[in-house]
Structure formats: structure tokens, C-alpha cells
């Protein structure tokens, strides 16, 4: 296929902001687009003509004359970012059709990396995507995703400075090394602006909160042989509180049970299997009357069926943030110096400052006797009881006054030189990149001794001895039901200071020849690259988090470093005019703790063009992910959580669909978890392949379909405490072979207290969830893309784009010898989208441009299906697809000024309503798949000073 038919369509679409899959015209790394003469080229006319006929496409180290290759590429241009309403790079990637997996983000309350943003490609682990900035690997975020996994934070990338984003699904390790299992994302920043520019944007949400203010400044200038581009961006975003949205401001009213108030003042008997609350009026007549001024007057006497009375509020879920308070500053520079006709020196710097503030809410701000005292004996009640005490906003001084704060300072610096070796066709590029990321986390804390001491002094009184090994107290319940003054609250609370960092050094050299020798179909290209460096990670939590000084809270810890080197070779061979083969191979070696961890990878790609308008393509190869530094060096790290004790629930007669009625003692069994790294971990390995076609039947139209297969082995997994508890139940009850590897593993990792009853096992005390190479995963996916540019003469032009992804198969094996779990049909294990599609239409006419963008999220399991792991029980099912529409219009009244107006979520569509949540839920939606932000509006003005250069 000659390049003209598809390439012309691609260029036209890019000019109109209408690029789609495979239309990658971007220069990778610091290499310029082919249409701009390279100052390092020779003066030989034939060589210069050859070089101007090729482009460097992400997914190959060799400049090529074809835009579409064996590697499918999706490109999102800067114009598309704005026209489609994407306010951040993370949002653009998360809304792509490939991003079918749910991930934590701003709306994930109390996550380990609150505010950090990432993406799950095809529902695979977020760490399986390789992120590049101008072709160079991003450094890892210092904190760990879900408290366990290393990942890249997309929040730090300034959207206004992005030229385009290339997305390459499928394994790419033979070119890009570790992490490139699910795919590669290359974020290419602007190398030049044609005039000094200032861009101002203001946004807001129709339902309140989240006001966004952004300013961007950039300019390019040169002095002789020196040229530099400088850009700076500042953005400030106000928080969205849960009380700003109807669905999250109170407990759920339309669920499987009536809305149930929080237990802010609770005395709970522990002598009965089922929860039994001691009524406040029995302890202190009219006790709840003294609390009615809390939560804005919403606190009062409440009653739960089968449990009893207490003091609580229906409004407590509202006091957490759904979207963070943010202040982000970015600085970017790109500089070049033409030292000679055959050498250009260059340097790039990207700096990021990110301050995030957020509140986790009342659910994470409370005190109880169960954590440090255990149940105690009350001689007046003649009962063993526990106390539980939540804190209202009036007691804490307003939840906005005790927000957590994280501050990230990161930068990525590259210095290098590139050019031509003599009068040959060999280009070279040698560069050094250093990335550095420092994070400070200031987390709100309840001091263990101070908060326990406060309630001992004010409520419990002195210990009066013991009974059956439990302490005896005679509490002052009248004091227990009194609001806590703000000054008293501040006396037993404060902040911890956790510091962490990552750093990475890489020296890389590459030589490339796009016409090394000639074959039957034309010139063959060769690329060779060597790289080496080292990297480190250090997560040092506040010592009080590790020594028990913070009430009910612990932390991750660890530090380590390693060195590495790699060699890469690629050969692009036009065997015939219609047939091109691309072969690449790479060898990576990591030196960790005195031992070498290495892995070779390869890829073979074929492009067959039987017609000028038709391309068949396919790739087969291997990919890998080296154990991350946290996987290897995470120290013994504890965490507190709850799990369902399935065995003791079964002993009480609660299994299957009835499990939700299990006594809370076993349904929400509190435990202390421990995990740690492992320097003996092996690389995660994968076999990957894809095949498909690109068809361009007429000018300006292109349609592609590609099928992907992933077979991943040796996955590193921190085991699920809930799955271990389920496995233990199956093993002890005879549902699984107690001598199987899974049973022996589960029984050894769940530590229980001594058994005190012939019917029930001792309570779960500790669960060990270490990291191991134990899992496997298989996935098949289908991706289709369409683009068409329709010229309308005097009426301008219309550019249509559409993309669709369908996960055909996704299964996972937790342990060798265990059966594979079908993640598409077992909703407990996965609630990811099976399908996802988006489409846009852009109309350009004169000085006006308008875009309508729609994103369709496929159906997902409802809450009850994910809890019961089936679609057959009453109340289970799937939620309807979710449609989001964005619309934008832009106008240039004069050549130097562009104005735009964007409405995101045009029809204010809420997530699909899920009535299977119980009335105890304050956020009745899956926060990893959906958000409740609602409709937003953005006004933007861009002004260029002077004439374009």
C-alpha cells in the first residue's frame, strides 16, 4: 500500500482534531516530525529526500514511510483534548475505549494514594502500562497503589503542554522493556509554539463545588543556534464534598433496607451472637437529647431492627470529599543548540508541584473500646460491652479544618545530543535522563494514648479489676453522651508526617539507519540501542504510625535500590513491495540484592498490503514486568481491615445469599493484616499477540479492527484477605480438598485466637497477605476504530471518529493447580466494564468549530451480584450502560484570539441507579467505575501575541 491513501486521510483528520487509532504522526522522544528538515542532516539531496519521506512513529525505533504499521496506535491530539472536554491527561486516558478497568482516584475515599490518577488498560493491572514522556520512561509515584503496587501518577502531567498522546495496546517490551505488557502510552509535549501565548480557563459544576481555575503561558525564541520553548501552567481546583451531591449526602434511601443512621454514640453488648445495643435511655434518661445539635441538628435517637437503640445521624456520609482541593504548578522547557551540521545538543525539563487536600469523613474519625481495651465488664449492666464514639463536624471544628494534605515535588531532566555519523545514513542519539519525585503526606491522626486517656478520664473511669480476663469499668454514661468541645478534640488529635521518594537515572544511546540495505520491497531499516542506570524507592512513614502511636492506624514502609542495563535491536524489512516484516529483540538485566534478575523479549510483526487501500497486520511476541522496588523491598507493613469470617458465619447458619444477615462480629471481623516484599520474586512474563486490518476504501475514510491476546504468568499478588477467608471456609467445611495447596496456604496464613466454644472457632486475629509469584491471567480483546472526514465545501467539513473495545475473555488463576476464575462471569472478582465505546463529530466552518463527544460505558454487576458472586439470587443483576455526552464550541473573532465553551456531561447523567445497596451505604455506587460529579462548564480564552513565527 502506498502511503498516500491512508496518510492523506490521517493528516486531514489531525488538522481537524480528528485522529483515531493508528494515526500516529508523532515524533518519539526528541525527534522532530518528518516534515521539518533536521539541521543535522547531510547536504546530500538524495539522502535528504529519503529522510523527509519517513516519520518516527511511536511503536518503532526506525523512521518509516508508513503511518499504519503492524503496531496499532491511537493518537489523541491537543485539539481533541480541548474539543472533547478532557481537562486532564488522566481523564483523556481513562475515557479511552481501552480503559475498561476500574481504578482508584479522587472519588475513592481514604485510598492509599488519594488524588493520584492512573489507568487500567483492558482491565489489567494499572502497573502493566508503560508510560513515557517524549519517549522516556516516567518515574514511579512514591506512594503505593492500594498500599501495595508501584504505579505512575498521571496527575503531574500538564494538559495544556501536551502536543499529543500515543496509545499502543498490546505487549511492547521488546522495544520499551519492563511494564509494557498491557500497552504503552507516550505523552509528547510541545516542542515549539508559533507565538507567545496565554491561555486562561475557568470551570465550575452545576451542582456546586469543584470550581477550576487554570492559566497557561508559553513562548519559543532563539538566539543564533540556540532555541528554547518554555511553558508554565498553574491550576487550582476547589473540592467537591459528598454533601454537595444528593446521592452521597445521606445514607441510601432506596436500597434493600431502609436508610440506617450512623452509630455515633453506641454501647454494644458482646455476650450475644447477634448485635445487641444497650438503649441510651436505659443508660442515661434522654441521653440523645444532648446530642441533637450535632450534624446541623440531624443527630438524635435512632433504632435498628434486631439490634436496638443508639444516637446517630443520617447525614454523616456527607462529610468527606469526592474531589480533592488541588493546587498544581508545572514548568516545562525544551532547548536545542545546533553545535554543528552533524550534532544538535538538547535538553528537556519537566517540573511538577502538586498539593492535594482531602477529607476521609466520619467513617475514619471515631473512637471505640474494642481496638485497645477489648470488651469490658460493666457491673451495673452485668454485661460485657464495647463503646463506640463518632465525631460530628461541630466537635472537630468542621471537617474542612482537619483535611489531610499531600505535597508532591517531581521533575524529569534530560540532556543529550543527536545527529548523523559522518556522511553516512546512520543517525545517533545519546542522552541522560534523571527523574526525581518527593512526596510529603500530612495525615490527620488520633493519638492512641491521648484519645484512650481522654475517654478513660471522662467516661470509663478507673479500672476496677478484671472479670474472666476482661477489665472492669463503671462508665459515666451521661458524660459519654455529651458532645466533645473542639478544644478537647484537638487535644487528642493531630497530624503525622510521612515522607517518601523515588529516583531514576538512565543513560541511553541509539543508532538508527532507515536505509541500511535493500530488499525486494525497498530499503530495510536497523536500530540498535543500549541503556543502563539505577533507581531507588524510599517510603518512610511517621514513626508513630509504626509503633502504635496513632489510634487504629498503621502504614506501609520500605526502601531499596537496584541497577539495570538493557540492549535493544530492531530490524524493519520490506521483503516484498506488499509485505514488510518488523523484528525486535531486547535483553533486560536488573541487579537486586546481589543477584541478577534478567529476561529476554522479542516481537515479530508482519504488514501485508494486497491493495493500495487495505492493510493486514499482525504481531507475536513476549513481554515482561520486573518486580517493582516495593515488591522487592517493602518492609513488614501492617494494616487494619475487616473481613467476613465465612466459617463462623456458616456455623451460625448464614451462607450464600443469607450471608448479609450474619452477626456483625463475624460479618465484619476486625483483623490485623501484614504484608512484605520479597527480593526473590521473578519477573512477570507474558505471551502477547494481535492481528487485524486497516481498510481505507475511499479518500479520508479508514476503518480498523484488531484482536489482542494476553497470556500472563508469574504475576505478583498480595493475597486477598477475603478470598483467604472464603478458602479457609471451603477447606474446613469439606468444599475443597483440605490437603490442596490453596487449603494449606489459607490455613497457615489466617491466625485465630484460642477457641472458646465448641461451635465457633476463635476469632480471626492476624492475616498474612505476602507478595508471591503465584497467579496467571488470560485475556482476549477486540478493538475497532473508524474515522471519516467529510468535506462540505462552503459549509466546512465534518470529522467523525469512533472507537469500540470488547473484552471477549478474561480469566485468572490465583494459585498453581487452582481452576481459572472467569472474571467476566464472576462479579465478586471483577466489576470492570466488558465493553466500552466512544464517538465524536467535529464540524469546522470558518472561524467556528464545534464537537459532540459521547462515551458509552458498558453494563457492570450491581452491588448484590458482586457480593454474592452470582446473577441468579434475588436482587442480583447488571446495571444499564452509562452514557456521558460532552459538547464544545470554539470561535476565533480575530486571528490571535480563540474562545471556547465546553459542557461536560451535557445531560447531567448520574451513574446507573443501583437499588441493591443496603441502607447502611453512604456512597451507593462503584467509585472505581463511576462518579457523581454531574454537569460541568468550562470557559477558555487563548491569545497569541504578535504574528505566528
For residue range 361-400, what is the model confidence (pLDDT) as tens digits?
999 999 999 888 888 999 999 999 999 999 999 999 999 9
Whether residue 343 has pLDDT greater than 90: yes
Question: What is the predicted pLDDT for the residue at 847?
Answer: 96
Res 502 pLDDT > 90:
yes
**pLDDT per residue over 622-654, tens digit each?**
999 999 999 999 987 767 788 999 999 999 999
Write the DSSP assignment of 700-739 as a string of letters: TEEEEEEEEEEEEEEEEEEPPHHHHHHHHHHHHHTSS-TT
What is the rounded average pLDDT of the residues 266-289? 87
In this prediction, residues 857-872 reach a mean pLDDT of 95
Residue pLDDT, tens place only, 129-142: 999 999 999 999 99
Q: Would you state the pLDDT for residue 70?
A: 86
In angstroms, the Cα distances linking 332 to 152, 161, 347 are: 19, 8, 11
Confidence category of residue 106, pLDDT binned at 50, 70, 90: low
Helical pair 721-733 and 741-749, crossing angle rounded to 10 deg: 120
The predicted pLDDT at position 934 comes to 97
Tell me what pLDDT residue 2 has: 37
> 158: which 3 cell numbers?
500538564
548 CB-contact burial (10 Å; exposed 0-12 / middle 13-18 / buried 19+): middle
Distance CA 614, CA 704 (A): 10
Q: Is the pLDDT of residue 241 over 90?
A: yes
> What is the structure's pLDDT at 337?
97
Give pLDDT tens digits for 672-698: 888 888 888 999 999 999 999 999 999
Q: With a cut of 80, say whether residue 35 has pLDDT above it.
A: no
Per residue in 663-695, is it b (16+ CB within 10 Å) or e — as a string?
bebbbebebebbbbbbeebebbbbebbbbbebb
Look at strands 129-133 and 183-189 and give their pairing. Answer: parallel
Sequence-ordered strand ranges (E) for 823-918: 835-845, 848-857, 882-894, 897-904
Please state the rounded mean pLDDT for residues 236-251.
96
Q: Is the pLDDT of residue 411 over 90?
A: yes
CA-based torsion, 548, 554, 555, 558: positive or negative: positive
pLDDT in tens, 759-806: 899 999 999 887 888 889 999 999 999 999 999 999 999 999 999 999
Specify the pLDDT at position 36.
Answer: 33
Predicted pLDDT at 670: 87
- Reported residue count of the chain is 949
pLDDT of residue 286: 93
The DSSP symbol for 119 reads: -
Nearest partner of 517 among 592, 577, 573, 576, judged by Cα: 573
What pLDDT, in 10s, does the model give residues 431-473?
999 999 999 999 999 999 999 999 999 999 999 999 988 899 9
User: Phi then psi for 220, rounded to 5 degrees?
Assistant: -125, 140
Query: CA 362: distance to chain centroid?
Result: 25
**For residues 41-56, average pLDDT:** 47
CA distance 690 to 784: 13
- The pLDDT of residue 13 is 35
The per-residue pLDDT for 29 is 35
pLDDT for the residue 665: 85
Query: How far apart (Å, rounded) are the C-alpha atoms in residues 762 and 130?
Result: 45
Give pLDDT tens digits for 601-628: 999 999 999 999 999 999 999 999 999 9
126 DSSP 8-state letter: G
Amino acid at each position: 500500500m502506498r502511503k498516500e491513501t491512508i496518510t492523506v486521510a490521517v493528516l486531514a483528520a489531525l488538522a481537524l482534531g480528528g485522529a483515531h487509532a493508528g494515526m500516529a504522526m508523532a515524533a518519539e522522544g526528541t525527534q522532530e516530525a518528518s516534515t521539518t528538515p533536521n539541521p543535522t542532516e547531510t547536504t546530500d539531496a538524495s539522502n535528504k529526500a529519503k529522510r523527509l519521506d519517513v516519520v518516527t512513529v511511536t511503536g518503532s525505533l526506525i523512521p518509516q514511510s508508513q503511518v499504519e504499521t503492524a503496531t496499532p496506535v491511537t493518537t489523541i491530539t491537543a485539539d481533541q483534548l480541548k474539543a472533547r472536554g478532557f481537562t486532564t491527561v488522566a481523564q483523556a486516558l481513562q475515557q479511552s475505549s481501552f480503559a475498561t478497568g476500574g481504578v482508584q482516584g479522587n472519588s475513592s475515599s481514604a485510598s492509599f494514594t488519594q488524588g493520584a490518577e492512573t489507568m487500567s488498560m483492558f482491565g489489567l493491572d494499572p502497573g502493566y502500562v508503560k508510560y513515557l514522556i517524549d519517549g522516556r520512561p516516567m518515574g514511579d509515584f512514591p506512594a503505593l497503589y492500594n498500599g501495595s503496587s508501584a504505579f505512575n501518577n498521571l496527575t503531574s502531567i500538564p494538559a495544556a503542554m501536551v502536543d499529543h498522546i500515543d496509545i499502543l495496546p498490546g505487549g511492547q517490551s521488546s522495544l520499551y522493556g519492563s511494564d509494557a505488557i498491557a500497552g504503552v502510552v507516550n505523552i509528547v509535549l510541545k516542542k515549539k509554539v508559533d507565538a507567545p501565548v496565554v491561555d486562561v480557563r475557568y470551570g465550575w459544576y452545576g451542582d456546586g463545588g469543584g470550581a477550576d481555575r487554570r492559566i497557561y503561558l508559553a513562548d519559543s525564541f532563539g538566539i543564533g543556534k540556540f532555541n528554547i520553548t518554555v511553558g508554565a501552567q498553574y491550576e487550582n481546583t476547589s473540592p467537591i464534598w459528598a454533601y454537595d451531591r444528593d446521592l452521597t449526602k445521606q445514607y441510601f434511601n432506596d436500597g434493600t433496607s431502609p436508610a440506617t443512621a450512623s452509630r455515633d454514640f453506641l454501647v454494644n453488648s458482646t455476650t450475644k451472637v447477634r448485635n445487641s445495643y444497650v438503649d441510651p435511655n436505659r443508660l442515661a434518661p434522654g441521653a440523645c437529647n444532648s446530642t441533637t445539635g450535632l450534624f446541623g441538628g440531624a443527630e438524635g435517637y435512632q433504632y435498628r431492627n434486631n439490634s436496638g437503640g443508639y444516637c446517630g445521624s443520617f447525614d454523616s456520609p456527607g462529610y468527606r470529599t469526592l474531589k480533592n482541593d488541588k493546587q498544581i504548578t508545572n514548568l516545562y522547557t525544551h532547548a536545542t543548540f545546533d553545535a554543528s551540521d552533524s550534532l544538535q545538543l538538547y535538553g528537556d525539563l519537566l517540573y511538577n508541584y502538586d498539593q492535594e487536600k482531602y477529607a476521609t469523613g466520619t467513617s475514619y474519625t471515631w473512637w471505640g473500646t474494642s481496638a485497645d481495651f477489648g470488651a469490658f465488664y460493666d457491673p451495673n449492666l452485668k454485661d460485657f460491652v464495647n463503646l463506640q464514639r463518632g465525631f460530628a463536624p461541630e466537635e472537630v471544628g468542621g471537617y474542612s479544618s482537619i483535611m489531610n494534605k499531600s505535597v508532591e515535588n517531581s521533575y524529569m531532566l534530560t540532556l543529550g545530543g543527536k545527529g548523523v555519523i559522518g556522511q553516512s545514513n546512520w543517525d545517533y542519539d545519546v542522552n541522560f535522563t534523571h527523574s526525581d519525585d518527593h512526596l510529603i503526606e500530612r495525615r490527620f491522626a488520633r493519638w492512641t494514648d491521648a484519645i484512650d486517656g481522654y475517654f478513660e478520664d471522662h467516661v470509663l473511669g478507673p479500672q476496677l479489676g478484671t472479670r474472666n480476663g476482661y477489665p472492669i469499668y463503671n462508665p459515666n454514661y451521661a458524660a459519654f453522651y455529651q458532645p466533645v468541645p473542639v478544644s478537647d478534640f484537638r487535644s487528642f488529635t493531630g497530624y503525622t508526617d510521612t515522607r517518601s521518594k523515588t529516583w531514576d537515572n538512565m543513560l541511553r544511546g541509539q543508532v538508527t539507519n532507515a536505509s541500511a540495505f535493500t530488499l525486494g520491497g525497498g530499503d530495510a531499516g536497523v536500530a540498535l540501542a543500549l541503556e543502563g542506570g539505577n533507581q531507588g524507592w524510599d517510603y518512610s512513614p511517621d514513626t508513630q504510625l509504626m509503633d502504635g502511636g496513632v489510634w487504629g492506624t498503621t502504614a506501609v514502609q520500605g526502601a531499596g535500590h537496584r541497577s539495570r542495563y538493557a540492549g535493544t535491536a530492531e530490524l524493519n524489512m520490506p521483503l516484498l513491495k506488499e509485505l514488510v516484516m518488523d523484528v525486535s529483540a531486547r535483553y533486560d538485566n536488573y541487579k537486586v540484592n546481589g543477584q541478577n534478575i534478567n529476561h529476554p523479549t522479542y516481537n515479530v510483526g508482519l504488514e501485508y498490503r494486497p491493495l493500495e487501500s487495505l492493510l493486514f497486520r499482525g504481531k507475536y511476541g513476549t513481554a515482561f514486568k520486573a518486580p517493582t522496588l516495593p515488591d522487592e523491598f517493602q518492609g513488614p507493613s501492617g494494616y487494619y481491615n475487616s473481613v467476613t469470617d465465612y466459617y463462623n458465619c456458616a456455623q451460625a447458619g448464614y451462607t450464600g445469599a443469607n450471608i448479609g444477615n450474619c452477626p456483625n462480629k463475624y460479618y465484619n471481623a476486625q483483623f490485623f493484616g501484614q504484608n512484605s516484599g520479597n527480593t526473590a520474586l521473578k519477573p512477570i512474563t507474558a505471551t502477547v499477540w494481535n492481528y487485524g486490518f486497516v481498510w481505507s476504501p475511499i479518500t479520508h475514510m479508514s476503518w480498523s479492527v484488531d484482536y489482542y491476546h494476553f497470556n500472563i504468568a508469574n504475576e505478583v499478588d498480595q493475597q486477598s484477605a477475603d478470598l483467604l477467608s472464603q478458602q479457609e471456609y471451603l477447606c474446613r467445611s469439606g468444599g475443597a480438598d483440605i490437603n490442596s495447596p490453596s487449603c494449606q496456604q489459607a490455613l497457615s496464613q489466617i491466625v485465630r485466637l484460642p477457641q472458646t466454644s465448641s461451635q465457633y472457632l476463635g476469632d480471626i486475629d492476624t492475616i498474612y497477605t505476602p507478595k508471591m509469584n503465584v497467579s496467571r491471567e488470560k485475556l482476549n480483546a477486540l478493538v475497532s476504530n473508524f474515522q471519516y472526514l467529510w468535506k462540505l465545501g462552503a459549509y466546512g467539513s465534518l470529522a467523525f471518529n469512533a472507537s469500540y473495545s470488547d473484552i471477549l475473555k478474561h480469566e485468572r488463576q490465583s494459585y498453581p493447580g487452582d481452576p481459572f476464575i472467569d472474571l467476566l462471569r464472576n462479579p465478586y472478582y471483577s466489576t470492570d466494564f466488558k465493553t466500552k465505546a466512544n464517538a465524536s463529530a467535529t464540524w469546522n466552518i470558518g472561524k467556528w468549530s464545534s464537537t459532540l463527544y459521547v462515551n458509552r460505558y458498558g453494563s457492570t454487576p450491581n452491588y448484590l451480584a458482586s457480593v454474592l458472586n452470582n446473577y441468579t439470587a434475588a436482587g442480583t443483576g447488571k446495571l444499564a450502560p452509562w452514557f456521558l455526552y460532552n459538547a464544545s464550541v470554539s470561535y476565533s473573532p480575530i486571528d490571535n484570539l480563540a474562545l471556547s465553551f465546553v459542557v461536560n456531561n451535557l445531560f447531567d447523567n448520574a451513574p446507573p441507579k443501583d437499588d441493591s445497596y443496603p441502607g447502611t451505604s453512604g456512597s451507593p455506587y462503584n467509585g472505581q467505575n463511576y462518579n457523581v460529579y454531574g454537569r460541568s462548564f468550562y470557559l477558555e480564552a487563548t491569545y497569541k501575541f504578535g504574528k505566528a513565527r
